[in-house]
Structure 1
Amino acid sequence: MRFTTSRRPSPRARRFGRVLANYFGARYMTRGKSGLEDGDEVWMVVVEGSGGPAGLARRSGGEERILRFSAVQEGGAKRLTRKRAAVVGSGKAAAEVAEFFGLDLSPTASEGRLVRVQDGTIDLVDDGDLILRLEI
């Protein structure tokens, strides 16, 4: 999985893309005039709206799916080790987020790198520290 932005991203979208890539242990690529390579690679493209991040487009194998959100809170900067995240939550929203990111759904996980899906929010948490909160 790789993260990138639109061809002419805002500074906030670039920072957001780097935070997500770091959180998921993926590579971030500055886009510029480059196109997205087709093939088996999964690309997560930060979608912008009103001058900031408004969603992610997952592009893979010629298909595109979009997860819309607004970034409502960013935690403090933290150097993250490479750990695999798990989605925590129940219901349709948690299952959709797990499928979108290609992660395991673990309704009972309580520690480590977690993507908590609940009540219209997605919290990206690392060992109890909030990294990012998204409102869906």
Structure 2
Amino acid sequence: MKTKKENILVLVTAGKESKRFMELAKDAAKAGNGDLYILHVAQGENILESGEMYEMQRLADYGCRLGGQVCLCCEQDVAAYISRFAREKDITGVLLEPPVKKEKKSIWKELLERIAALLPPGTCLLSERELAAAAV
């Protein structure tokens, strides 16, 4: 009997925790015999406008060394893009790095709710704790 591959998508920012989240996602994808996808979606029309390009390049290099498929893009509707990406890549689990700044937490919560509503059936949002448990 063939078991379903656990394709894990980790959504990263230029934050300091991104590497740790990528490592957790890599371990979970490996444990589930699946693939690791690393995605950064900048809201707007130009990823270069974010001012974080150097850090994103470092994260992309690191993600490639982990064996992940890295995608850096820009889109007005971030949640819709993430949903399309999850459908195209047959993603089974999504880990979203939480914001560091308190003022961004309400925006993050709203984004999280939109992503959850748009994800394809069978795709779940994973917490850091759930992902760590899946990697064991």
TM-based fold match above 0.5: no
What TM-score, normalized to structure 1?
0.33
- Which structure's residues are more often strand, by fraction? 1
